[in-house]
Amino acid sequence: MIGKLIRGLFAGGGDAAPAKPASKEMPAVNHEGFVIVPEPRQINGQWQVAGRIEKPAGDETKTHIFIRADTLSSADEAASHMVRKAQMMIDQQGDGIFE
């Protein structure tokens, strides 16, 4: 019993269904030189706010994986929410996102 509890803490939920990405690709959004790529994930019938924040840096692209605990009823709502949160994060932290 304790082993199952410990596995659940470190395995991200134990018996919960694994996250599945949205079946349709969401459009990327440009903001202040950053590219915001919403990638909502379906978890137990809800959509988790998730995606990437990217910024070109010379020959490579810096990437920040963006996953929040927020869940919403549709993939479009989760994608819109992700874009708003990512824009706010970019405005507040700028390139500090990648540190």
The CATH code of the domain that includes 92 is 3.30.160
Take residue 13 and report the two structure tokens written for it.
């939920």
Q: Is residue 53 part of a domain?
A: yes
Could you tell me the residue range of the domain that residue 44 belongs to?
A: 18-98
Q: Is residue 13 part of a domain?
A: no
The total of structural domains in the chain comes to 1
The C-alpha atoms of residue 71 and residue 85 are separated, in whole angstroms, by 13
Summary mean pLDDT of the chain: 84
Take residue 43 and report the two structure tokens written for it.
């978890």
- Could you tell me what percent of the chain has a pLDDT over 90? 70
Q: Is residue 70 part of a domain?
A: yes
Model pLDDT, residue 31? 96
* pLDDT tens figures, 46-58: 999 999 999 998 8
Per DSSP, the three-state class of 73 is coil
pLDDT at residue 10 greater than cutoff 80: no
Q: Are 52 and 39 in contact (CB under 8 A)?
A: yes
